[in-house]
Amino acid sequence: MSRQTNNNILVPTDFSDVAECAVKHAINVAKAYKNEITLMYVIEEGLLGSIFSKSQSDLLKDAMQTKLQVRAEAIAKETGIKVATRIGSGKVYKVVAETANIEKYDSIIMGSHGASGLERIVGSNASRTIQYAEVPVVVVKNSTVSSEGYKKIVMPFDLTIESRQKLDWGINIAQKFNSEIHIVYTRPDDEYLSNRMLANIKLVESALNTHKVKYKLYEFKDSLLDNFATEVHNYANITDADLIVAMTHMEKGISELIIGTMTQQLVNRAGKVAVMCIHPTETGFSYDY
């Protein structure tokens, strides 16, 4: 998949443990793709205005910049990866997403549970960042990642065109990390829709075979849409997967991206398995299957 980027991963941080998990994920991805990393701390303007004077706000920004710089230098020394820092102010999710969109970052990797008080860059902001970001967003909770990266990738498929768009991303990641992709799906009761799903899975298999990617297929029997996300997570945990790749979805007639129900559930339940959310294309998709 061709997409012009600045070859840089944006990592929002509040220096909490889960934010550090996100940093570790970013390091592994940066090594595989030869990316650079930018650590970003966002200060909510409303919070500063209501609590601090201008001089105190400036002192806080300076302190955060120093803390970012120390962490960036440590990462660079340990890994050899080029690490930049930046401070933002405003609504966290908007600052992060707009920075990534405008400056064409390769991806965003962020935690989904933060600390309390001022350290609020992660947490509920993850879902909103996914909503506004036009780049892939990897959501990390307490998930660790080995030095070998993402070795097992779970990819849930349904009948939407957005679902099929994730395949190129999965293949690209699998080729970088020599991963095994696990395609999981359920078939509708309706015979016509069931046959369509089987036809889609055949196309997926053909693409994976063409690109020589290791894979497994797993069909959830008698699965309901309401518990599909739960079954995907259970499967990912049982198989010791490292990553779940999901799509956000475009509401018909609305230009703004929304998070589909299943994807939202996957993000909310993200535990030891990171979730990668892909922004769908609006003008169709070209498959070389």
Pure H helices in 178-254: 191-210, 225-238
Q: What tokens appear for 48 in the block?
A: 């500063």
pLDDT at 52: 59
Which residues of the chain register pLDDT less than 70? 1-3, 45-54, 113-124, 162, 222-226, 249-261, 269-270, 282-289
Class of domain 8-140: alpha beta
- Ranges of each domain in the chain: 8-140, 152-278
Q: Which listed CATH number (3.30.365.10, 3.20.20.80, 3.40.50.620, 3.40.50.300) goes with 152-278?
A: 3.40.50.620
What pLDDT digit, counting tens, does each position of 146-181 carry?
Answer: 788 999 999 998 877 767 778 999 999 999 999 999
pLDDT at 53: 61
Identify whether the C-beta of residue 25 lies closer than 8 Å to the C-beta of residue 149: no
Q: Which residues contact 133 (CB under 8 A, 6 or more apart)?
A: 96, 97, 100, 101, 108, 279
pLDDT at 280: 79
pLDDT at 257: 42
pLDDT at 238: 94
The CA distance from 138 to 108, in Å, is 6
pLDDT at 18: 87
